[in-house]
Amino acid sequence: MDLLDEETISFLTHEEKLEYYKAQSEVSKFAPKLSFDEGSKSEKEMLREAKAYEKMVRKKLAPFLKIALDRKNNSLKPTVASKLKAKLKIYLTALSAIIAFLFIKNVFF
């Protein structure tokens, strides 16, 4: 079971990756072996195992998901410099259009 994909895992530090893989192996050992051929387990017992497994996943793996996704989202947010660069491009385009209009107006009219 892999909660995080490789791209998301890449946002974790080396130590966090090691901790994540360790927690993942612990959780996978505990994973309930759900099988339809298994007649010895009651539905209630299987549901209890599934809930315990879900709780373990939330406790051990979810923090790594939160950390990685926060870092991923922060890396995707535009920086101040990129915002200024975009505004500068817009202003330069508008200024170029005005200069071209004035040049054409003065030359041809």
What does the domain layout of the chain look like in residue ranges? Answer: 1-77, 78-109
What does the block give as tokens for 10?
């890449």
| pLDDT (tens digit per residue) in 8-48 | 888 889 999 999 999 988 888 877 665 555 566 777 887 88
Q: What is the pTM of this model?
A: 0.58
> How far apart (Å, rounded) are the C-alpha atoms in residues 7 and 72?
9
Supply the pLDDT for residue 33.
64
Q: Single out the residue of 24, 22, 25, 5 nearest to residue 68, CA to CA.
A: 5
Sequence-distant (6+) residues with CB within 8 A of 24 are 1, 2, 3, 60, 61
How far lies 20's CA from each of 27, 46, 58, 75, 76, in Å?
10, 26, 13, 21, 23
